[in-house]
């Protein structure tokens, strides 16, 4: 443990000893996303850039396809400052579209392909979008709302567009896609071929110019549109190039994340490409999606449920397949939800590979912290990115808190968003001017920072359970119960109570090899809680479940559990 010079992480910056002495690549932060990828790889154009369902593109191929698309977009009438709505899942066209629009200064506004007609209509009208680029599955919804928007062009992508001709024919026969006979509708590559492929110059860099919009998940309130600049992407790549994450030339990253979140666009696509690594674009995000790719990647970025699936089904792999995994994977990277100390240890023991957890949000371009591969700290979400500062903050006193003192996690991040579209009040709540004269990103998460600079989360400000006036962090209960040898996963929520108004309730997923009765399991867990938690922190109710619900973004669905919990309590 390092020696403290002061009592505040922002002054001591103890995390610096865990960064690389020199970056994997020198990254200029004053450049567009387009130049971040192609200027950085100017001497690397023959290397593999992306892979999708067995189809591989070099950086040269990616650049040629991007430049053709940029020319088509420009010659069709798009100009700097316009916004294009995009609802597409992982495929090469995701990368082409992002980079091509960025080259001509057009904002790409990403949304979840599971969005409703109402959502798509709102997204389009809010930004006055004239173009939408979408997967074929969204055609019925787009047809429903097209005439209530300013949309002039609907550009359709299918999952087979970049595959072989035979696979395209097979897909067409299976899906029977029928594009309306309407001049507003185009297939992606037909649209590109309709316009001259003359070279269009890349727009100049502007730190304050919007370039990417992402929808928030809405798990903590009304969904918002988060606006980022090119500076977020280039700053993220620069900061992470100083981390010890094993990316660079000849490395292959498996991306198991949907492109409509910053974790995917920022860390799982643009960052590895900027490092010269190849990105495998997985078309689905189901828990079992990782299985077919074993042996084909050196690093993966995924959600905890992907690794939980791999852990649970590991014994189904052949010995040869297990050895391939041991030999090829440098690191598993997880984000989007918590991994307990015990779970992290179990994962690494079974996989024989380090699994590091990170933390962030869409407002911070996905990643605010990440663990060190060589110094992985179980239970922690890691260290601040290079050249950024993270503190625990007391909102009452408006001061940074000392080491190991819980407060709201705030970041002085180069990757901070510009604003919420059309929502100045919430923007000023999250982007907040501190007494030091600097604008800090308020995460809404509680946590502490230890003497080495590692951040440990203790729950969300909105996940505080109030019991008879006592404030309880749901994380405190979850972490303690997760230590129990019977327990695989645990989520604690607040439920209504006849006597105490509100009490904590724990939902527990038990390890599959446990043969004890449910009554025995619950009593054993309660005994641990009574011995190791404060009296008011002990959950009043514990329910053993077969599975835990997740939101569409792969996080625990706390709201669903609160509903289930309150129904359970009423039935007692």
CA-only gyration radius of the chain, Å = 24
- Considering the entire predicted model, what is its pTM? 0.85
Res 552: pLDDT: 72
- Fold for domain 468-571? GMP Synthetase; Chain A, domain 3 (3.30.300)
Mean pLDDT of the chain: 94
Q: pLDDT tens digits for 382-435?
A: 999 999 999 999 998 999 999 999 999 999 999 999 999 999 999 999 999 999
Residue with tokens 């920072």: 449
Residue 464 pLDDT exceeds 90: no
Residue 472 pLDDT exceeds 90: no
Q: What φ, ψ does residue 115 adopt, rounded to 5°?
A: -65, 155
The band of 535, judged by pLDDT with boundaries at 50, 70 and 90, is: confident
Measured CA to CA, the distance from residue 303 to residue 326 in angstroms comes to: 20
- 219 or 514: which leads in pLDDT: 514
In the chain, list all ranges with CATH 3.30.300.30: 468-571
Side-chain half-sphere exposure of 210, counting CA atoms within 13 A: 19
Residue 175 pLDDT exceeds 60: yes
In the chain, list all ranges with CATH 3.40.50.980: 33-229
* Three-state DSSP string of 490-534: EEEEEEEECCCEEEEEEEEEECCCCCCCHHHHHHHHHHHHHHHCC
Q: pLDDT tens digits for 443-452?
A: 999 999 999 9
Domain 231-458 grouped into CATH 3.30.360.10: no
Measured CA to CA, the distance from residue 192 to residue 186 in angstroms comes to: 9
- Fold for domain 33-229? Rossmann fold (3.40.50)
Strands annotated E in 172-298: 185-187, 210-215, 225-229, 252-255, 278-281
Q: pLDDT tens digits for 201-239?
A: 999 999 999 999 998 854 444 678 999 999 999 999 999
The band of 462, judged by pLDDT with boundaries at 50, 70 and 90, is: low
Res 365: pLDDT: 97
Residue 1 pLDDT exceeds 50: no
Res 37: pLDDT: 98
Task: State how far the alpha carbon of 473 is from the alpha carbons of 21, 388, 456, 466, in Å.
Answer: 38, 27, 13, 9
Q: pLDDT tens digits for 48-95?
A: 999 999 999 999 999 999 999 999 999 999 999 999 999 999 999 999
Mean local confidence (pLDDT), 292-299: 97
């Amino acid at each position: 443990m390092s020696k403290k010079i002061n009592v505040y992480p922002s002054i001591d910056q103890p995390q610096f000893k865990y960064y690389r002495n020199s970056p994997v690549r020198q990254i200029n932060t004053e450049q567009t996303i387009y130049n971040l990828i192609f200027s950085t790889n100017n001497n690397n154009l023959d290397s593999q850039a992306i892979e999708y369902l067995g189809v591989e593109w070099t950086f040269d191929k990616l650049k040629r396809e991007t430049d053709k698309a940029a020319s088509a977009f420009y010659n069709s009438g798009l100009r700097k400052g316009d916004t294009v709505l995009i609802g597409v899942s992982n495929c090469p066209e995701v990368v082409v579209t992002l980079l091509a629009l960025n080259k001509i200064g057009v904002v790409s506004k990403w949304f979840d392909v599971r969005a409703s007609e109402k959502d798509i209509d709102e997204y389009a009208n809010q930004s006055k979008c004239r173009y939408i680029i979408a997967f074929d599955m969204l055609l019925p919804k787009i047809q429903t709302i097209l005439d209530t928007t300013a949309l002039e062009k609907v550009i359709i992508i299918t999952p087979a567009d970049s595959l072989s001709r035979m696979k395209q024919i097979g897909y067409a026969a299976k899906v029977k896609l029928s594009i309306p006979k309407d001049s507003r509708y185009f297939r992606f590559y037909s649209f590109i071929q309709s316009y001259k492929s003359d070279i269009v110059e890349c727009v100049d860099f502007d730190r304050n110019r919007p370039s990417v919009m992402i929808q928030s998940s809405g798990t903590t309130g009304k969904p918002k549109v988060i606006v980022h600049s090119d500076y977020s992407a280039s700053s993220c790549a620069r900061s992470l190039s100083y981390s010890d994450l094993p990316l660079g030339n000849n490395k292959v990253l498996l991306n198991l994340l949907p492109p409509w979140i910053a974790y995917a666009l920022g860390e799982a696509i643009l960052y590895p490409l900027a490092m010269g690594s190849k990105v495998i674009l997985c078309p689905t995000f189901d828990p079992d999606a990782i299985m077919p790719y074993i042996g084909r990647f050196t690093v993966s970025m995924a959600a905890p449920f992907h690794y939980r699936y791999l852990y649970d089904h590991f014994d189904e792999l052949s010995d040869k397949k297990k050895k391939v995994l041991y030999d090829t994977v440098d690191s598993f990277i997880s984000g989007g939800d918590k991994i307990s100390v015990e779970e992290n240890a179990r994962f690494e023991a079974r996989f024989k590979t380090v699994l590091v957890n990170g933390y962030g949000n869409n407002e911070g371009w996905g990643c605010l912290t990440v663990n060190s591969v060589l110094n992985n700290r179980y239970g922690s979400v890691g260290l601040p990115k290079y050249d950024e500062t993270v503190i625990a903050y007391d909102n009452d006193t408006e001061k940074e808190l000392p080491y190991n003192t819980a407060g709201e996690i705030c970041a002085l991040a180069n990757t901070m968003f510009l604003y919420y579209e059309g929502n100045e009040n919430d923007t000023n709540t999250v982007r907040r001017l501190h007494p030091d004269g600097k604008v800090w990103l308020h995460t809404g998460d509680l946590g502490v920072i230890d003497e080495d600079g590692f951040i440990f989360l203790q729950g969300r400000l909105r996940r505080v359970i109030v019991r008879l006036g006592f404030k309880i962090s749901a994380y405190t209960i979850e972490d303690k119960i997760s230590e129990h040898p019977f327990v695989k996963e645990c989520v604690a929520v607040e439920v209504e109570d006849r006597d105490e108004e509100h009490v904590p309730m724990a939902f527990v997923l038990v390890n599959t090899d446990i043969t004890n009765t449910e009554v025995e399991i619950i009593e054993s867990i309660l005994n641990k809680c009574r011995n190791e938690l404060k009296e008011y922190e002990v959950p009043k109710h514990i329910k053993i479940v077969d599975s835990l619900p997740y939101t569409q973004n792969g996080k625990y669905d706390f709201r669903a559990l609160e509903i289930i919990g309150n129904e359970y309590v009423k039935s007692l």
